[in-house]
Structure 1
Amino acid sequence: MRTLLGIAALMVSSPPTAGFHYPVSSARGNTRQRTFSAQSVASSYSTVSFSRMVLGMATWSNGQAIREYQDFLATGKSELDKEDDRPSVIVRSSNPASITPLTDAIFALGNGDDVVVTPNEALPVGKYPIYITVPPYELREFIQNLSDEWKARAEDFVFFSGTKFCGVVEPILRDFGMCRDTMSQVVVGFTLPPPGSGLGGVARMPEDMACNIGTDAYGEEKWAGETQSCGKWNGAVASRLDRNGIRCKSTFYREWRRAMWERALYDAVWNVVGAVREDETDHLQVATYFEMEASDMMWELVNGLRGGLAVTLIYGFEDRLFSFAEMRGKGEPCELRDEMFDHILNVFPGKSRMLWEYCNYAKDKKGLLQRSNVPPVPSELSELPSPTRQGNMRADGVI
């Protein structure tokens, strides 16, 4: 699938000029290792029992995940509870300059009866989800300054992650004890049109970004970039999105968290790898022309997630992310914004050496991230190799 999409992309897209290129020798070595690992998994898979095959190779990361599933089975229900959409409250920033397209998108997906408030206003009486659409760089202050009335309704909050507007909010929520099973959270897998993008000066309706990337060994459809929700109001979220033709998967928190970090990986790697180029680069071009660099950086960050947060991404994440970029990345510019640095880039545990090398290059050579506190790279790596790349061939002749 990726090969065919890549060929199609080459036919319609011209290669951007590369600012620099990470050593390809190490990338090739990693590729061989990953191929070997995949073959090892395939060979060992044939020895598992039939009962495990029927379960679709379900993976349980820890005792908490097992308990969640056992508690669910104890209810006697065949699926997670799903509540219908209802008039809700949407919380936007008090600063007009900080209102994000997420606010308009959530309102547009409703029935026109939602109430939009700022954090200093009173909440209506009733039972309803409270969609928190303040930007991540205002979220900590928002939670710290909650009134008693708002604190009493904290279990009804719905938080968003993913895309260049929402980023990763887990570190903030964790500081306030809000990373728990019942807290409602959403990984955004739909477009967030800016104001004035539609007819009459209003924003266009959000559209689904989920991609069908084929079927697995059992004939089940595989999806990339889909919206996922968890927590108390996951059913209401799914109902609102489903009604508007947006695919939304309702799941348990532990599985949702893996999907959230997978999206975080995409937002960080694709924007960093593309932003350092001489020419403006979109996500499709990163997947087409800078695959090795993106892959190397992804695996470095994945190893950090596994060691630092005990998060193991679901098998096949690399194929899903590249497929998503190839199918949805055309025209999506690679951007690095100072206000989102601590919510898209500076969120991964571990040393993240390659990520910080690219960020320092962007700061020193491209004039980006000037207000961000980018961790310095080791002195021996301060001079990066810079062979340029044209199409699929580097300037030094290596294909």
Structure 2
Amino acid sequence: MAILFPSSSLSSKPIGTQTRPRNTKPRGVAMASTVRTKVVPAVIVGGGRGGRALQEMGNGHDVLVKRGDSVPLDFNGPILVCTRNDDLEAVLEATPKSRWNDLVFFQNGMLEPWLQSKGLDDADQVLAYFAVSKLGEPPVDGKTDTNPEGLTAAYGKWANAVAERLLAGGLSCKVLNKEEFQKQMLEKLIWISAFMLVGARHSGATVGTVEKEYRSEVSSLISELASAAAAEKKLEFEGAMEERLCAYSRAVAHFPTAVKEFKWRNGWFYSLSEKAIAEGQPDPCPLHTAWLKQLRII
């Protein structure tokens, strides 16, 4: 499966190599593909398409760690985690605890509950909006007609280093503070949860087919999920979310749809429904719940 790694328009001023402090207030910085910069060597966990693509963007001094291998203790630099979500427990077990604050998670979905359970509330994360169709092929940037500057975003201690690496590979990346990153993470979660579920209802329609032929269904679901997420996290999304998400869907129109990694994606929204119902409150995501039941996912 190709790596899909959304975000609102931010400035395109290049950043330097100094790490931006966490939780600062600037709106974000886009990395322009014309800037030349050095790449900080990294440990890369995962030898699949994503991990290999990140290694190709390096300077030859990276350490690639495959499934079951231990993360080196004496390597000063970021640890880029490019595995499936269900492999994250094993990654932590293979990483010396003293190095957990150097982990950078590239996974799709809602990682917050799992990260908090591990004491990694402030962990580095990347919303990677690029695709690697085959092992060894160059990644394709997820630029859209509403976000021509690119969609990929990074947050945390190693955010600048990640942005510089992606830049070296011809990709764009924004460095965001924690609040902005959380909004973008949730927006991406809404995209993958909504489009995959609607597509699954229509015999596995592609993402492009969902956007073109079932726009009213996916629009209703986007609105519902966004409202539930905003209420749960006490935040306000930027306007025109539907347009941004549909634009991204047009950019990756050929991608298939399926409800996968339920715990990390649709499962978070269903947990909000379960909590509300247990408290005697209305389901905040009734359409989402009904469609999950229709497909016998719950």
Is 1:172 the counterpart of 2:110? The answer is no
Pairing partner for 1:230 from 155, 169, 174? 155
Is residue 2:55 matched to residue 1:133?
A: no
Equivalent position of 2:272 in the other structure: 350
| 8 Å Cα contact 2:193/2:259 also seen in 1 | no
Q: CA deviation at 1:238?
A: 0.5
Say yes or no: does 1:86 pair with 2:9: no
Residues in 2 aligned to 1:130 and 1:256: alpha-carbon distance in whole angstroms: 19
TM-score, scaled to structure 2: 0.78
Contact 1:211 1:223 in 2 (8 A): yes
The answer to whether the 8 A contact 2:70-2:94 is kept is no
Equivalent residues, number: 258
Q: Secondary structure at the match of 1:186?
A: strand
Cα deviations across residues 97-134 of structure 1 (Å, max 9, x unaligned)?
Answer: xx653222322332333111245425052421101122
Question: What is aligned with 1:266?
Answer: 191
Counterpart residue identity of residue 41, structure 2: P
Q: What's 1:206 paired with? A: 139
Partner of 2:240: 316
Report whether the alignment pairs 1:242 with 2:158: no
Asked whether the equivalents of residues 104 and 158 of structure 2 are also in contact (C-alpha less than 8 Å), the reply is yes
Q: 2:191, 2:157 → 1: CA distance? A: 27
Q: Does 1:188 align with 2:110?
A: no
Closer/same/farther in 2, CA of residues 323 and 79 from structure 1, 3 Å limit:
closer
Gaps of 5+ in 1: 1-55, 57-66, 73-77, 93-98, 196-202, 214-221, 364-368, 375-399
What per-residue deviation string (whole Å, max 9, x for no partner) do you get for residues 269-300 of structure 1? Answer: 1111011114x411111111111111111111
* Number of the residue aligned with 2:18: none
More helix, by proportion: 1
Tell me the equivalent position of 1:64.
none
Call closer, same or farther: CA 1:122–1:246 in 2, change over 3 Å: closer
Question: Which residue does 2:100 correspond to in 1?
Answer: 154
Q: Which amino acid aligns with 1:264?
A: L
Distance 2:235 2:82 in 1: 26
**Shift in Å, 1:191:** 0.6
| Alpha-carbon separation, structure 2, partners of 1:168 and 1:141 | 18
RMSD over equivalenced CA pairs, Å: 2.7
Cα displacement string for residues 150-184 of structure 1 (whole angstroms, at most 9, x for unaligned residues): 111111110123xxxx333222112122122xx32
Percent of aligned pairs with the same residue?
24
2:294 paired residue number: 361
Match of 1:394 in 2: none
- The amino acid that maps onto 1:329 is V
Indicate the residue corresponding to 1:109 in structure 2: 57
Alignment-mate amino acid for residue 133 of structure 2: P
Larger Rg: 1
Instruction: Indicate the SS of the match to 2:55.
Output: helix
